[in-house]
């Protein structure tokens, strides 16, 4: 039986947090380890360029994200791990998609509407974000794309674009499916809103114990009930509701004890990841080599697909 094709990516916009992990990155590892998928994990640096406009920061974040990928268990021997900007077919296919896409259609994107509602000046890259993401996915004939809930609309854009291309020209692209884990579709942050780098409400995935303590102590608790909802919801990521029931029943209203228990559980979960990351960080050249190898493999696949696309639109 041939394996299904999986592709996903993360922007190198700063240290990943446990929301990124439980919402998306953990699925990368779990699905990779089933052996049922041909996996591609990308560092979406060109998407990140909309947010990071400083060369040193971009370089550091990118290498850090490669390290993070390896530390959570992505395996360069079985998965293609690569940087988006290393494969020029992504931006080339974006142009082709731009030419068959209308402005009103892109104006319906949540990210665009949010930026507009905040009266932000919107870059063309932000406006066009869904087309680059469609190119990322469709170039590899991905069947599944594991992501958090906030990316669902982007996968719909990729599907629509594939359909539009197929009907305008000839059957060329597969329609990808999003893979979203219901229970962790939106991991809450320390303030109860969606955990996000841009809200400053995160627990970093490779946090030190001090950072964990700082994060957990800042969790907003309302005094209306026995169970501090925001603490409990984060705790649920680490332990079964059964296990938590006893702890929360025995400590009704004792927010400090519950927060301390959460700190210990988070630290127990993060410590091995932190240690593995520190070990891999001792060989940065090895990490760079992973990206070089990954780029070669990704390029081969993407270039072959782009050739077909170019034939199908008549430029070849």
Partner interacting with residue 7 (select from ligand ADP, ligand TRP, none; CB below 5-8 Å by kind): ligand TRP
- 147 touches ligand ADP by CB under 6 A: yes
By C-alpha distance, which of 8, 38, 27 is closest to 184?
27
Nearer Cβ to ligand TRP (96/147): 147
Stretch that binds ligand ADP, among 89-97, 102-110, 135-143, 179-187 (CB under 6 A): 179-187
Select from 6, 7, 23, 235 the one that contacts ligand ADP (CB under 6 A).
23
Measured distance CA(291)–CA(65) in Å, rounded: 11
Count residues near ligand ADP (CB under 6 A).
19
Residue 68 interface partner, choices ligand TRP, ligand ADP, none, CB cut-off 5-8 Å depending on type: none
Q: Give which of ligand ADP, ligand TRP, none residue 280 binds (C-beta under 5 to 8 Å, depending on kind).
A: none
Verify binding: residue 190, ligand ADP, rule CB under 6 A.
Answer: no
Work out how close the CB of 89 gets to ligand TRP at its nearest, in angstroms, rounded to a whole number.
14
Query: In the chain, count of helices (H) and strands (E)?
Result: 14, 5
Residue 43 CA to residue 294 CA, distance in Å, equals 11
Radius of gyration of the chain (CA): 21
DSSP H/E element including 210: helix 209-217
> Taking a C-beta distance cutoff of 8 angstroms, is the pair 12, 44 a contact?
yes
Name the binder of 196 from ligand ADP, ligand TRP, none, CB < 5-8 A by kind.
ligand ADP
Nearer of residues 50 and 151 to ligand ADP, judged by Cβ? 151
Only segment of 35-43, 110-118, 191-199, 279-287 that touches ligand ADP (CB under 6 A):
191-199
* Main-chain phi, psi angles of 46, to 5 degrees: -70, -30
Decide if 27 contacts 165 (C-beta within 8 A): no
Provide the b/e sequence for 64-88 (b: ≥16 CB within 10 Å): bbbbbbbbbebebeebbbbbbbbbe
In angstroms, the Cα distances linking 171 to 90, 116, 168, 174, 212 are: 19, 35, 9, 8, 50
Give the shortest CB-154-to-ligand TRP separation in angstroms: 6
Which residues contact ligand TRP by CB under 6 A?
7-11, 44, 47, 133, 136-137, 145, 147, 151, 154
Q: Does 24 bind ligand ADP (CB under 6 A)?
A: yes
d(CA 167, CA 162): 9
Query: Which positions lie near ligand ADP, rule CB under 6 A?
Result: 10-11, 13, 19-20, 23-24, 147-148, 150-151, 184, 186-187, 194-198
């Amino acid at each position: 039986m041939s394996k299904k094709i999986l592709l996903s990516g993360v922007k190198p916009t700063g240290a990943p947090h446990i929301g990124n992990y439980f919402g998306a990155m953990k699925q990368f590892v779990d699905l990779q380890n089933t052996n049922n998928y041909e996996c591609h994990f990308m560092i979406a640096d060109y998407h990140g360029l909309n947010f990071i406009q400083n060369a040193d920061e971009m370089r550091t974040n990118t290498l850090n994200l490669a390290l993070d990928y390896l530390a959570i268990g992505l395996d360069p021997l079985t998965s293609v791990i690569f940087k988006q900007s290393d494969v020029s077919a992504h931006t080339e296919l974006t142009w082709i998609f731009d030419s068959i896409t209308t402005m009103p259609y892109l104006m319906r994107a949540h990210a665009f509407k949010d930026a507009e509602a905040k009266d932000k000046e919107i870059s063309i890259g932000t406006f066009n974000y869904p087309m680059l993401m469609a190119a990322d996915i469709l170039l590899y004939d991905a069947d599944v794309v594991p992501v958090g809930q906030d990316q669902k609309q982007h996968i719909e854009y990729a599907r629509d674009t594939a359909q539009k291309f197929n009907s305008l020209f000839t059957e060329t692209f597969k329609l990808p499916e999003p893979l979203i884990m219901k229970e962790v579709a939106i991991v809450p942050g320390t303030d109860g809103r969606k955990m996000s780098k841009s809200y400053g409400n995160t627990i970093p995935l490779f946090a030190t114990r001090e950072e964990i303590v700082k994060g957990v102590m800042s969790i907003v608790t309302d005094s209306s009930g026995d169970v501090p909802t925001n603490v409990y919801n984060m705790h649920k990521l680490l332990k079964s509701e059964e296990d938590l029931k006893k702890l929360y029943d025995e400590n009704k209203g004792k927010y400090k004890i519950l927060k301390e228990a959460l700190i210990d559980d988070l630290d127990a979960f993060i410590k091995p990841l932190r240690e593995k990351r520190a070990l891999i960080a001792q060989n940065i050249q090895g990490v760079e080599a992973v990206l070089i190898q990954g780029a070669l493999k990704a390029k081969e696949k993407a270039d072959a697909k782009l050739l077909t696309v170019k034939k199908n639109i008549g430029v070849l």
